[in-house]
Chain A
């Protein structure tokens, strides 16, 4: 029983990060119908920026309280990621807005390579140790189940950000403009919505979430690397599709479900298949679930209006 609880907890932590990144995919898709494959790299840029800022500050004033350090690092990461995403949209995607759908998709893959290579030049090929400013000392709330402060922070911070985002989209004027733009660019602009500004804002908002996810990810594992964005990016994209791409609630649900499926899959796949499959099929397990969901619900778990887009 404690093993199952531990696995669910493991899944929840990973799933929270997936969900944060998936929101970025889904927001951009909802508004532009574009799958921004470079989104995973934004997470990497965030983590490495925070790393540089934090280690520099640590060198300058070693007495700074760790939480303040992390806060400044996170803020810097968010700002840099927002600039990167703004430039990405402005320089790479805007001109292709009315091009055939394949063109922006290929461009997105190109941007992803570009960011990765730039990061390799700036931060080098080595693995970096990311300072774990939030404690990783395990606690045992239930006998045999371990959780540590950074894991709690990851889950809580993700939950707060997600709720905040939903409120922003459903309750504010900006959110209404975003929803209107997603509905129809031309009509929205006739109603006085600055469509270009809204699209830029969507990218920037998604990038800020990715920056948070990157810092949480790196703080959890204590490691940062120029290629670290690829796997979480791919998983988050899967999560967005699983939940129903274009749908905010779907991205969150998809992220959490994917995290849980992975953890429980890795833990129990051997028992479930009587030793036929093992944990090297951890990733396949997640994609099998995706396949089954898409067969019965082609628009994902919560997706509704994908058919007219895809």
Chain B
């Protein structure tokens, strides 16, 4: 009964808006706009803003009325607590869809608030698998998660690097262990043999003992799930023990810091992976970069194309459903498939991107080069 009343009320609002010239639909964007990764946060917001401006320029009609989209950009300071406060503020402001947040740590707690309010959210950058495993109906992401990353690492090690015998090390953190487990599954499925599974901690600096044991198993490839502070010294010690195996690690080790810490021990046989693809290789990457630069006078950092696609996914779904109301356009969002800047945007049943891209990088002349 209550529901029908609400539905009638919403219909009434629709009729009321018809008399006005334009219908205003608010979208929210949340990312850290202050603090150490504020450059990435602003990048995300600009990506969403570009999508909204494109949609307004195109002049989208919903239910026979011209729509003007407005973007509310909020700052979550990369802090989980601020993230939930900001999420509540956006819900109270009656936004119809969310692009954000940036970090897994802020996105997961905030997703609960959006879910309770029934507002769809699409994160352009949170990769922790947990986000889409909470059973929420309206949580999506346009970037590959760490499960997908692990499967790329495993396949690359077994197929491209030709690893028949693979040794796996992880640092026993949720991230490192998760990535290592997924790598192991994928490598086994690709026909490789896991000859050693060793463990360290995220505080260790000495890996000589486990590496000596791994050496005895004579692997072709060593995979490490963990961060750059361990991966750097580990690459050094691999060389010191005269191990010639190739080395691959996930995005935790895919940093300039890793190259510094590994010093002159790093070589072309060291690889790492990162969710997403480099801008040059995206279907609409070149065009996006030029327009982004022209509009904001800044270069694309990392995730703004994913934020653009996230905002576009919401707008497309609204267009298809002919309504900006979450309950109406959510089914369209779940089933849609359209070519975005970063690739085909389509979600699986849990809300993860179907063709989540992961890029493998190889060390070359002092930096990481995308393969």
Contacts and interface: CB of A to CB of B under 8 A. Distances in A.
Interface in A12-48: 13-14
Interface stretch (A105-113, A162-170, A222-230): A222-230
Contacts of A227: 203
Interface in B69-106: none
B351 to A, nearest CB: 33
Contacts of A230: 203
A222 B197 contact: no
A233 B216 CA distance: 31
Interface stretch (B118-126, B134-142, B157-165, B232-240): B232-240
Contacts of A136: 236, 239-240, 265
Contacts of A14: 206, 208
B213 interface: yes
B203 to A, nearest CB: 6
Interface stretch (B19-27, B255-263, B318-326): B255-263
Tell me whether chain B's interface is mostly helix, strand or loop, or mixed: helix
A222 B203 contact: no
Which size class do B's interface residues fall under?
Answer: 20 to 34
B205 interface: yes
A146 B241 contact: yes
Interface in A269-310: 278-280, 282
- Among B209, B229, B233, max chain A CB count under 10 A is at B209
A256 to B, nearest CB: 15
B241 to A, nearest CB: 5
B199 interface: yes
Contacts of B290: none
B205 A221 contact: yes
A238 to B, nearest CB: 15
A267 interface: yes
A81 interface: no
B198 interface: yes
Give chain A's interface secondary structure class. Answer: helix
A11 B209 contact: yes
Contacts of B189: none
A11 B172 CA distance: 23
Given A136-B236, A136-B240, A279-B199, A6 B212 contact: yes
Contact of A280 (B172, B240, B260): B172
B179 to A, nearest CB: 16
B246 interface: no
Contacts of B212: 3, 6-7, 10, 263, 267
Nearest to B262: A222
A8 to B, nearest CB: 10
Interface in A207-235: 217, 221-223, 225, 227-228, 230-231
B233 A223 contact: yes
Interface in B220-237: 228-229, 232-233, 236-237
A266 B241 CA distance: 16
Contacts of A228: 205
Contact of A129 (B172, B208, B263): B263
10 contacts: A14-B208, A127-B261, A146-B240, A222-B261, A222-B263, A223-B232, A263-B212, A267-B209, A279-B198, A280-B172
